[in-house]
Each structure stands twice: as structure tokens, then as C-alpha cells.
Amino acid sequence: MTKLLITGPKGNMGQEIVRVAYNRSEIEIVGGVGPAGRDYIGKDLGVLSGLGQEINAKVYDDINSIIGLCDVVVDCTNPEVTIKILKSCLENGKALVTGTTGFSDQDKKILKDASKQIPVLVASNTSRKAHIFFDLIKKLSKKTGREADIDIVEMHENKKLDAPSGTAKEIAAMIAAELDLDLSQAVEYGRKGKGIRKSNSICFHSIRSGNYPTSHRVIFGYQNEKIELHFDGYNMNSCAEGIVDAVSYISDKKPGFYRIEDVFNL
């Protein structure tokens, strides 16, 4: 039985992780961690997440008061919080699974360095179907990407802080790899003013609107036609399922830096 601690349990993703993990026989939720002063501190996660019953797992405002009871910490919050959570994981020898996006290069280095001491899994998209989508993008890029203007259009809720999304950046990186492009030189961000689009460019377009969960579209524009691939998430369930799969996967692993592709056996 893997004992799980969930940070940010009030967020959309946090609540979905609670609901998914509760229905996994191999996982026991020991508690959640939220910011001090929030009105849900001390409440049961089952009630907070909409399960409709108490599950004997409360929300704490100090991770150090509960982290000793868990095996794995799951975090889908923001980079600043994640790095603080990582410090507690290091001090207590606990594995970390995070779906947080928007990490700086320094944050990524901190996460990589931490993986020398504890198991760390970082994923920008934890949906299994999304990774099939990625495979289609790679194949199309390899076959006709050099002929196309490539645009990545992504849409998320208006509370999402980072843009482009972590998934959009991951898509751009895999396209650039297939085309042997320097990603830093190939990317553009929207269009403004006058000027002809440069060749071999990958352009991001980010939309933050309402409470739309997630949408990614990749457009390959040719002279006389276009091919468009798109992936829409109706809610956070598929990503939460992948996160919980990652928890089960990493629970018995040695220190190291793991990927969601390892979990999905891709």
C-alpha cells in the first residue's frame, strides 16, 4: 500500500487526484497540504473534493506535520510552491511526483539535483491519450514538417499562470528535434505588426479564457492545404489518472529522475 500526500488539494487538479486516488486499492491518502489561513485547513479531503464522505485524511497547513506518514508527495501547484515542497521531500526522504509547469531553468536544475537523493518524476502532461497525440505530431513532423508553417494553439482556464503551456513547449521541442532545428531560434510568439513570417518557424498562440480545462492544436500549413491535429481535454480526470499511475510507479523506485513515458511504458 502506497501512502500518498497531496498538495494543493483545493485546486481542480488536486480535487481530481483525490477522487482518482481514493478509488485505487493500492493507494491510501494520508492527507493534503494547503496554504496557511485558508478556510479549508482541517477539513476532510473526501468532503473537500466532492466524494461525499469523509476518508480520514485532513488538510494541513504545514507539510512537516504530515509528510512523515507518506511514501509519495504529489504536487500540481506552481513552481515556487513545488520547490518548497521538494525541500521537505529531500529532508524527509520522500518521493515527489509533480505535474506543475512553468519551471525556470534554475528550478529544473534543482529538481534534477534532488533526484540524486530521492525519486523525482516531472511531467507537463500526464494523459495517456495525449502521448498518442504526441506520437502523431512526431510522425507528421518527420514526413512533411520542413514544408510547413507550424503553429501551436493552446487554450486553458484564465487562472493558469504560465504561457505557453508546458505541453505546448513539449510539443515544440519534439517538432524541433524531428526537424533538427535549434528551438531557441525557431520559436515565435503570436503575430504583431508587419513582416513576413520566417521559414522553419514554430509559432505559439496562447489563450486563457473562462474555466476551459485544456486544448492543444498543431497546425501544419502548406501552400495549398493544411493538416491540423488537435487534442481536447474535457476535464482533469485523464491527467489525474496519469498522475496516480505515476505515484504507483515511483513508490518502489530508487532515487532518480523519471518521466511519465516511463510510467506509460512508451
Share of the chain residues as helix, strand and coil, in percent rounded to the nearest 5: 40, 25, 35
Does residue 160 carry a catalytic annotation? yes
Dig out the grid coordinates for 16 from the structure: 481530481
Active-site annotation holder among 58, 160, 169, 216? 160
CA 128 to chain CA centroid, nearest Å:
12
Whether 171 and 152 have beta carbons less than 8 Å apart is answered as yes
- Strands (DSSP E) contained in 190-241 are 202-208, 214-221, 226-233
Whether 154 and 205 have beta carbons less than 8 Å apart is answered as yes
Report residue 63: phi and psi, to 5°.
Answer: -60, -30
Task: Taking each helix axis as running N to C, give the angle between helix 128-144 and helix 237-250, from 0 to 180 degrees, rounded to the nearest 10.
Answer: 100
- Residue 129 CB neighbour total at 10 angstroms: 12
Active-site annotation holder among 156, 169, 205, 216? 156
CA 196 to chain CA centroid, nearest Å:
34
Report residue 236: phi and psi, to 5°.
Answer: -95, 5
Cα 105 to Cα 65: distance, rounded to the nearest angstrom? 30
Q: Which residue has the cell 513582416?
A: 195
CA–CA–CA angle 236, 241, 243 (5° rounding): 95
- Residue 83 CB neighbour total at 10 angstroms: 19
Active site residues: 156, 160
